[in-house]
Structure 1
Amino acid sequence: MIHAIMAKKVGGNEMWQERVKIKGPYAFNRVIERLLIDPLNAIDTEQMMVKMPFDSGRRQMISVQSIGTKDDPEFIVRGSFKEDQEKVLNYVFEHFQWDSPLSGINQHFAQSSLSSIFEEHSGTPLVLESSVYSSLIKSIIHQQLNMAFASVLTYRFVTSFGERLEDVWFYPTPDVVASLKVEELRALQFSQRKAEYVIGVGERIVQGLLNVASFSSLEDEEIKKQLVSIRGVGPWTAENVLLFGLGRLNVFPMADIGIQNAIKKQFKMDRKPTIQEMELWSKEWNPYLSYASLYLWRSIETGK
C-alpha cells in the first residue's frame, strides 16, 4: 500500500516523499546490520534510514526510512525529482525486495534442516546492490579476498574513480573504468590480474560486447553462460550477480567459503562439506536457495 504524504520545491526541484506499507515480516534492522558491512553504504542508524544513489539519466540521492516494525513494516521513501517518483518507487521495491514472499519462505524452511537459522533471522530480506553493473564490478573485486580487505579495496576503487553526490557514492561508469590503467588500480593494492579483469569488464560494456541491462529478461543459466565467458569471471562471481544484482531466488554458490563454513557449523561437522553433500542438502531448500545462502551467511556474520 502506498500513499503520498508530501511534495515541496527546494532550489527549483520538487522534492517528494511517500509512505509505503508492505506485508511483514520484514526486519529492516537486519537490513541495516548487513549494509553496515560495506563502508560505501550511507546509513543513519538512529533514524533507521538508508541513503542510496539513483540514476535514471540524472543522478540523485534517494532515501528509505523505516517507521514501522518487523511485523507491520512501514517506510518513508524520499526523492529529489517529482517526475522520477514512480521510477524511484519501482527501484526501491526491487532493491529491498519488498514484494518477496518472506512469510512463505519462512514457512518453507520451518521444517527444514535450517529451521533454527530461519527462526533466528526471520524477516531478513535479500537486498540488492545499486545496479547489476555495480554488482558485477564489486563481485570481481571481492573474488578470493576476505570480506574486510575486499570492502576496503572496493571503497578505494569507488571513491577514487566514482562520483559523490551529497552522502552517496556512484560507481565509476563503464567508460571511466575502460579508460583506467592497470597501474592506477595497482596503486590501490589491486593485483595485476584483478585490475585487468575490472578494466576488461568496462571495455566489454563500452564495446557493446556485454549488455548487463538485458539480464533482467534472461534465465539464470543464460546469464551465467554470458558472465563466465568473460575473462576473470567464474561461477562464484556469476552467482553473486544473480543474487545481489538481480535478486534471483534460487541461487546457491557452493564454492563460497562463508557458506561452506556456515554449513560446517550448522551441522556440527569436523570438516567442510563436500559439493556432493551440499547438493544433497540443497534439494530440501529448493526453490529458495538464495535465502538459504543469505541466512547461512548471516549465521556466520552474526555468530547466531
Structure 2
Amino acid sequence: MVTLLETDAVLKRGLAALAKSDPVMARLAAEGATPQLRKRPPGFEGLAWIVVGQQVSTASATAIWGRLRAILEPATPRRFLALSDEELRAAGLSAGKVRTLRAVATDITEGRLPLDDLHNLPADEAHNLLTRVKGIGPWTADVYLLFCLGHPDAFPSGDLAVQEAARLAYGLEQRPDAKALNALAESWRPWRGVAAKVLWAYYRMVKAREGAPA
C-alpha cells in the first residue's frame, strides 16, 4: 500500500527524507521552498479536468469546465459517453480533447484502466497504465497521480517549470530534459512527488524575486 500525500504529517516525512538524502533539497527547504498540500478530486472528474485545462489559459479552462460540468451530471465515464460530440464541442472541448476523454471513459468502463485502484500501485506502474490510453501523455499521467491521487512518488519530469527549477537549484548549464531529470530524480525515490512540489515552490520563489508571474 502506498502512503498518499493526504496530510501535512506525510508531507513533512517526505521533506525530511529528501533533506537527509540530498543537500540541495535541504537548502531549498531552508530557503522557504516548502510546498503546501494541494489536491483535486480523483477519478474520472479529476482526470477530465486536467485534460480540459491543457494548452489553454486558466480562465478559458475554468469557463470550458463550467460548461462541461453543467451537462456532465453525474461526472462519470458512462455519462460522458452518453453525450454527443456536438454537445461536447459546444461546451468548448476541441476535437482532440473529445477523443482523449472518450478513450479514457471507454477504457474505464471496459476495465482496461482501473482508475479507482491506481493509488495502490507503484508510481511507474500507475503511470504506464494511464499512458496506454490514447491521448494521455506522460505529463497528464503524472499530474493526475500527484495532484488528484496524492501519489508521493509521481514525478512530472516533462514539466518545464520543474525542469527550470532543477537547472537553477543544481547549477546546471542547461535545462534538463525529461530523461535527464528522471535520472536526477532516482535518488529521491520514493518521494519524487514531494521533490517535484519543492521544485515548483522554488520556481515560484525565483519568479517572485524576479518580479515575473510564476
Interval of TM-score (by shorter of Structure 1 and Structure 2): 0.7 to 0.9
Displacement of 1:298: 2.6
Confirm whether residue 128 of structure 1 aligns to residue 31 of structure 2.
Answer: no
Question: 3-state SS of the aligned residue for 1:114?
Answer: helix
Give 1 or 2 for the bigger CA radius of gyration: 1
The one-letter code sitting in structure 2 at the alignment partner of 1:121 is A
Alpha-carbon shift at residue 121 of structure 1 (Å): 3.4
Q: Which runs of 5+ in 2 are unaligned?
A: 209-214
Query: Does 1:139 pair with 2:50?
Result: yes
TM-score, with length taken from structure 2: 0.75
**Structure 2 equivalent of residue 189 of structure 1:** 92
Give the match for residue 64 of structure 1. Answer: none
Tell whether the 8 Å contact from 2:154 to 2:193 is kept in structure 1 after alignment: yes
Structure 1 position 269, deviation (Å)? 5.7
Which segment drifts farther, 254-263 or 138-147?
Answer: 138-147
SS of the aligned residue for 1:221 comes to helix
State the Cα RMSD in Å. Answer: 3.1
- Asked if 1:108 corresponds to 2:14, the answer is no
1:223 counterpart SS class:
helix
Instruction: Kindly indicate whether structure 1 or structure 2 has the higher relative contact order, using CA contacts under 8 Å at least 6 residues apart.
Output: 2
Within 1, Cα distance between the matches of 2:102 and 2:39? 23
Contact 2:72 2:80 in 1 (8 A): no
Amino acid at match of 1:137: A
Cross-structure match for 1:179: 82
Identity %: 24
Alignment of 1:63-78 (within 5 A): none
* Number of residue-to-residue matches in the alignment: 203
Distance apart, 1:103 and its partner CA: 4.6
Letter in 1 for 2:41: S
- Choose the corresponding residue for 2:157, options 236, 245, 254: 254
Aligned to 1:228: 131
Instruction: Decide whether aligned partners of structure 1 residues 162 and 248 sit closer, same or farther in structure 2, where only a CA change above 3 A counts.
Output: same
Secondary structure of the equivalent of 1:237?
helix
Going by fraction, where is strand more abundant, 1 or 2?
1
Q: Of residues 118, 132, 148 in structure 2, which corresponds to 1:215?
A: 118
CA distance in structure 1 between the partners assigned to 2:59 and 2:200 by the alignment: 15
Bigger helix fraction: 2
> Amino acid of the residue matched to residue 212 of structure 1?
L
CA distance in 1, matches of 2:143, 2:179: 21
User: Partner letter of residue 143 of structure 1?
Assistant: Q
1:240 aligns with 2:151: no
For residues 76-129 of structure 1, the C-alpha deviation after alignment (integer angstroms, 9 at most, x for no partner) is xxxxxxxxxxxxxxxxx967434515055235326522334323133x344332
